């Protein structure tokens, strides 16, 4: 899904949770208030019924539940999620994460996390530190359960 993972997505407040999941899955996803804030180079996702003049790619998300939205997204934008991209973006800022030396995380994460993990990444924008923890395993299990992807994760 490398071509589709490089596509830019825009989400409005009606599908904000979907946008956060798309960031986790590695998709470049910006939060906007309306379709007027996007250019012609991305896909706008919304639950609002919007008339378009054809110059913008607007997709109506026909579901309320996040599980259904994620399955719908997979059906419309590709059969596979690129596992190399999962967990590669900051959930808050959308910036690609950068791996940092373990020592750089020492004073920024809990002691137990520092002692039990070897790989840490940072958001260059908000400076939030990320690591693969039990939350990552739960998210992967959730995505596997609803059929988004199977097998080994990040």
User: What string of pLDDT tens digits covers the 154 residues of the chain?
Assistant: 344 456 899 999 999 999 999 999 999 999 998 888 887 778 999 998 776 655 568 889 999 999 999 999 998 887 667 778 889 999 999 999 999 999 999 999 999 999 999 999 999 999 999 999 888 888 888 888 888 875 544 4
Question: Cα separation of 128 and 15, whole Å?
Answer: 24
DSSP state of 144: H
Predicted pLDDT at 73 = 93
pTM of structure: 0.84
Predicted pLDDT at 153 = 43
Residues contacting 147, CB < 8 A, separation 6+? 71, 74
**Nearest 5 degrees, angle CA 123-CA 46-CA 5?**
45
* Ramachandran angles phi, psi of 98, nearest 5°: -120, 130
Can you tell me which residue has the tokens 């997979």? Answer: 74
Tokens of 41: 């180079």
């Amino acid at each position: 899904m490398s071509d589709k993972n490089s596509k830019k997505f825009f989400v409005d407040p009606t599908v904000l949770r979907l946008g956060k999941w798309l960031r986790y899955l590695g998709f470049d996803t910006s939060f906007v208030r309306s379709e007027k804030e996007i250019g012609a180079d991305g896909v706008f996702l919304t639950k609002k019924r919007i008339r378009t003049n054809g110059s913008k790619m607007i997709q109506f998300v026909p579901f309320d539940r996040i599980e259904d939205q994620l399955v719908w997204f997979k059906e419309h934008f590709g059969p596979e999620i690129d596992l190399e991209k999962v967990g590669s973006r900051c959930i808050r800022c959308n910036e690609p994460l950068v791996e940092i030396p373990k020592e750089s995380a020492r004073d920024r994460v809990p002691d137990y996390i520092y002692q039990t993990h070897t790989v840490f990444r940072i958001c260059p924008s908000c400076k939030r530190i990320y690591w693969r923890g039990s939350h990552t395993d739960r998210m992967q299990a959730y995505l596997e359960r609803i059929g988004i992807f199977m097998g080994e994760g990040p």
